[in-house]
Structure 1
Amino acid sequence: MLWVATVLGNIGSFMRDVASAWLVTDLSASPTAVALIQTAATLPIFLLAIPAGVLSDILDRRRFLIGVQILLAGVSGTLLTLSAMGLQSVESLIALTFIGGIGAALMGPTWQSIVPELVPRADLKNAVALNSLGINIARAIGPAAGGLVLASLGAATTYGVDLLSYAFVITALLLWKRPPATQNALSEDFLSAFRAGLRYTRASKELHVVLVRAAVFFLFASAVWALLPLVARQMLGGSASFYGVLLGAVGAGAIGGALLLPRLRTRLDTDGLVLLAAILTASVMAALLLAPPQWAAVLLLLVLGAGWIIALTTLNGVAQAILPNWVRGRGLAIYLMVFNGAMAAGSLGWGLVAQALGLQGALLISAVGLTVMAFVFHRLRLPKGEADLQPSQHWPEPLVAEPVAHDRGPVLIQIEYRVRSQDRPPFIDALKRLSAERRRDGAYAWGIVEHTKEPELLMEWFQVESWAEHLRQHHRVSQSDADLQGELLKFHIGPDKPVVHHYLSL
């Protein structure tokens, strides 16, 4: 039900985007003005992605999504009114597109975060692919329908259809019987959740790799999206309906690419898939330089859609797979921030390049740059995403003489190990790997010290900001982390388990 509603809602959104992108070419011939529409749509996601991810993790996701849909419906209603009254301008289009981008920023991480709630973990990658397939079904239908409605009935009617589509999405969300989120004394407030999300991102090397690979790809690939309205109008001599057909071809190609993905995954790993997507995208941009006939341009956009869906699904699927549930909204928000930041900066940059060197010059530079960077960063391997991130719940509750207020802190945790001198190098290597887990789950400082009198006595220490945050660590430790901690215990030679001490700041 939610998937179908998403398809219908995205059809309306793509119709709105076609109307806005084409309408700005009627109001201004400047490549910069046209590219600013793309920038206005993606810049809010770059600016607000992290706060949106925090809200996704601490609020009821269903109610939050309903509120965002109402905001987006208001944007489309305003666009409809201005267009019907003949008051639309470049400034109003950019401003309303920016507000719509705010709604998209709030919705993006939340909508993606609910996918693991709807399917078993074993089906997650296929569910992410199905989600992307739904978006591209909408991309195949929405732009073409938007172009036809725009050409025959005008912008106001096109915006009206988008306004109607929100009713389907809101209805589906109202019918979704999502179990209410449990509130307890350890529930995070906005600021603590914000800091925890930043700490996790800073400590997760796997997420860093995904973010770098995504930024490089989308920074160069954004050129074709930013300049496509001008390519359709000036280089290919097309109308609004032809521009819609081109975008529809992207969606149709994405559907084909999504259907081919299971077969491609048997032949290529995730790095090979991203490289393939870059080559396909760069090839399309290079071919558009030749100003091909309109029918050939449609075929090229089919290829672009296949390359685009391969990149989106692969990178998004890896990001989903490496994030535990407690921080999934915030982690995906960081991913979306990088994705949309690259799209926004790239769109504006390629618009300025096209202003200075022409459309062909911008497309040539972006195609060559994407190809070169794809091979350069191919050596930075994407994570497998196969670790078990379910909470292990194997940490015993800390012993206290009397109840501790949750806001007490900072908290210092010390763990004493006894390790033979010959085992010290592998033990320290394993402990340093464990340090990333400590930092991801809440520690802001970490270290190892040795006893001056007893060289076999080593102590690991880390600090967290409050007692509540340390208790949250107990619930965040994953099965994969528990396995790593089990490796450490093999080196411990004491008669009992390592001794743990907790200290509170006075």
Structure 2
Amino acid sequence: MTQPSFLAPFRNPDFRALWSATLFTNLGALVQVTAAGWMMASLTNSPSMVSLVQSANTLPFMLLALVAGALADNFERRTVLIWSQSFVVAASAVLAVLAFMGLVTPWLLLGFTFLIAGGGVIFLPSWQASMGDILPREDLPSAVSLNSMSYNLMRGIGPAIGGAIVAWVGAAAAFALNALSCLPLIAVLLRWHPEVPKSDLPRETLGAALAAGLRYALLSPALVRVILRGGIFGFAAVSVLGLLPLIARDQLQGTAMTYGLLLGAFGFGAIGGVLLNRPLYARCRNETIVRISFLGFAAGMVVLALSSSLLLSCVALLAMGPFWVIALSLFTVAVQLSTPRWVVGRALSLFQTTAYGGMAAGAWLWGYLADRIGEGGSLCAAAALLLVGAVLGLWMRQSDFEEVDLAPVGGFVVPKLALDIRYRSGPFMILVEYDIAEADVPAFLALMRERRKIRLRDGAHNWALMRDAERPQRWFESYHVPTWSDYLRHNERRTRSDGRNFDALVALNRGGAEALRVHRLIERQTVPPGDDFPVRLMPDGRLLP
């Protein structure tokens, strides 16, 4: 894949403003997480409870990410971003007040950590999907890397600042800083008015949107591999972040400042990973990059497990940081570049659900093991799992980035119907009739195998291919959609890459596109005419914008 300038996204003023504002948001979030982890360590001596702070910070990804993805694809992303950040401000402010009054208990701290992280979860798919609305496809890898740099620049100083604030002023001030840090981003979002194509179709219900996202992912093998490998990496690698407060306190006999320095070393190392992304993409295959990340992170974990020196521990974390960023950035870019815009929010949320859900479960498991075999033993067990993840690449190879044109074909002309069909009318069976010469049947069947995946992935049900026993040259492709709006949405989702399959089928059809016959058969009228929206068309038959 051609690699544009690493800084190319900064040529876009919207990206510049949003990226700059997220620096403050990321700083506040990292200060909050650091303060919560150390506050829990001061409230209880239980390693499990301390690790649960990391679980509370990542569990919302497993529980809310799918909903967040559906919101990102079905509502104006700018609105979702504003409301999610406003929620984080409110929750952080309340936690700051409670901490100032000395009313925070371990379980209350976990609850507010969950709520604040939940606001971030709702924010993330809309934020990541917005990159494709702002920037051209070729700039997306650089944008993902720059967003990672934004986070990791703050990871380098945020934990140290958080540790200093907790040590000198108290956790309440750290929580208040998190609330204030969201305000610049909200201000930029209020001024930002992106031009995003809007559909005249009614929104999908939440259940239908979630089902569509899951269906698309399950029928995309490359996406499944990304999600599974990301889950394994997150599950094992999170042991470092989950156990770091205990390593700082017990293994290194340190303070909140020690914990902040360790997190800072990890963050500065992650910045190196951001800078390495572009040359690695240019020189190595994606599977090679993934294996290096798994193995390199595992090696650093073993060193950290055996270290009793602050300097050596910082060096180990500094070395692990790049592998963390390289792996997660590659997975995120792979999801973005292999998913069309109509479902990208849900695809990203599925990846986040698996990766961060794995982190939530892993944080608890490695803390549980630390109770029994110590922090070092738990880290070594997690490192062994990363070795297994690297070996799995022999069977679950990470695909290279493909140059697939996922832009919508556009220009779908709504057929003129004799019946008074409304959006919720249905269900429909669609029957497409082909006339194929006997010599072209093998090529036709190969195209139809791909066609089946496209149809099902874009929302069709009960796809079938039939041949006329009396006239063997006649073939019928059939599929079902629940409503007329689902049929229109199905056709709007067709990408230019999908269009090449259709063009090839038309070329095989005797008589070309003019001879292709499409039958749209309504099985029954389920909605009275007055109980729905009329189909709004322009004079040329296309949907009104």
Contact 2:429–2:522 (8 Å) recurs in 1: yes
Task: Give the alignment of 1:209-358 within 5 angstroms.
Answer: 209-358=225-374
Does the aligned pair in 1 maintain the 2:429–2:480 contact within 8 Å? yes
The correspondence of residues 179-198 of structure 1 with structure 2, limited to 5 A, is 179=195, 182=198, 184-198=200-214
* Offset at residue 189 of structure 1 (A): 4.1
Q: How far apart in 1 are the matches of 2:206 and 2:281?
A: 39
CA distance in 1, matches of 2:385, 2:251: 22
1:362 counterpart = 2:370: no
Q: CA deviation at 1:191?
A: 3.9
Q: Is 1:492 aligned to residue 524 of structure 2? A: no
Query: What is the deviation of 1:46?
Result: 0.7
When normalised by structure 1's length, the TM-score is 0.96
1:296-445 aligned at under 5 Å gives the runs: 296-383=312-399, 384-393=401-410, 395-445=412-462
In the other structure, the counterpart of 1:175 is 191
Contact 1:27–1:90 (8 Å) recurs in 2: yes
Letter aligned with residue 424 of structure 1? V
Contact 2:73–2:346 (Cα < 8 Å) also in 1: yes
TM-score under structure 2 length normalisation: 0.89
The structural deviation recorded for 1:464 is 1.2
Partners of 2:515 and 2:248 lie apart in 1 by: 69
Q: Which amino acid aligns with 1:498?
A: L
Alignment partners' CA distance in 2, 1:236 and 1:433: 57
Please state how far the C-alpha of 1:141 moved relative to its aligned partner. 1.6
Alignment of 1:93-108 (within 5 A): 93-108=109-124
Deviations 1:450-487 (A, max 9, x none): 11112222211111111101111221100000112222
Q: How far apart in 1 are the matches of 2:282 and 2:455? A: 35
Show structure 1 runs of 4+ deviating over 6 A: none
Distance change in 2, residues 1:31/1:385 (3 Å): farther
Return the match for 1:505 from 523, 526, 540. 523
SS in 1 for 2:508: coil
User: Residue type matched to 2:263 in 1?
Assistant: L
The code of the aligned residue for 1:44 comes to: P
Specify the alignment match of 1:476 in structure 2: 493
Q: Is the 8 A contact 2:85 2:120 kept in 1?
A: no
- Unpaired stretches in structure 1, ≥5 consecutive residues: none
Give the 3 Å change call, closer, same or farther, for CA 183–494 of structure 1 in structure 2.
closer
Name 1:466's counterpart in structure 2: 483
User: Could you tell me how far apart the structure 2 residues matched to 1:376 and 1:162 are?
Assistant: 39
Name structure 2 gaps, 5 residues minimum.
1-16, 525-545
Cα distance between partner residues in 2 of 1:76 and 1:117: 30
Range that drifts further, 92-101 or 56-65: 56-65
1:49-82: CA deviation from partner (whole Å, max 9, x where unpaired): 1111111122222222111112111221122112
In structure 2, distance between residues paired with 1:274 and 1:292: 29
> Within 1, Cα distance between the matches of 2:445 and 2:392?
33
What is the CA distance between 1:372 and its match in structure 2? 2.2
Is it true that 1:454 corresponds to 2:467 in the alignment? no
Deviation at residue 181 of structure 1 after TM alignment: 6.4
Assess if the C-alpha contact under 8 Å between 1:253 and 1:301 holds in 2: yes
Matched residue type, 2:435: R
- 2:200 corresponds to 1:200: no
Q: What SS does the aligned partner of 1:326 have?
A: coil
Deviation at 1:378, TM superposition (A): 4.4
Query: What's the CA shift string for 1:418-466, capped at 9, x where partnerless?
Result: 2333432332122111211111211122111111112222211111111
Q: CA 1:486/1:382 → structure 2, altered by over 3 Å: closer, same or farther? A: farther
Deviates more, 1:431-440 or 1:414-423: 414-423
Alpha-carbon RMSD: 1.8
Report which stretch shifted further, 82-91 or 177-186: 177-186
Moved more, 397-406 or 209-218: 397-406
Aligned residues: 506
Q: Which amino acid aligns with 1:416?
A: E
Q: Residues 478 and 180 of structure 1: is their aligned pair in 2 closer, same or farther, counting only changes over 3 Å?
A: closer
* Corresponding residue number in structure 1 for 2:529: none
Distance in 1 (CA, whole Å) between partners of 2:67 and 2:408 is: 25
SS across alignment from 2:459: coil
Deviations 1:91-120 (A, max 9, x none): 111111111122122111111111112212
SS in 1 for 2:409: coil
Q: Are 1:54 and 1:329, in contact at CA under 8 Å, matched by a contact in 2?
A: yes
Instruction: Return the offset for 1:414.
Output: 1.2
AA aligned to 2:179 is: L
Q: CA deviation at 1:281?
A: 0.8
Aligned residue in 2 for 1:135: 151
Cα distance change, pair 284–440 in 1 and its aligned pair in 2 (3 A): same
Deviations 1:34-57 (A, max 9, x none): 111111111122111111111112
Instruction: Give aligned-pair identity as a percent.
Output: 35
Looking at structure 1, the residues matched to 50 and 188 of structure 2 have their Cα atoms a distance apart, in angstroms, of 34
Q: 1:497 to 1:122 in 2, by over 3 A?
A: farther
Residues 204 and 484 of structure 1: is their aligned pair in 2 closer, same or farther, counting only changes over 3 Å?
Answer: same
Q: Which residue of 1 aligns with 2:107?
A: 91
Partners of 1:394 and 1:417 lie apart in 2 by 22
What is the Cα deviation at residue 262 of structure 1?
1.3
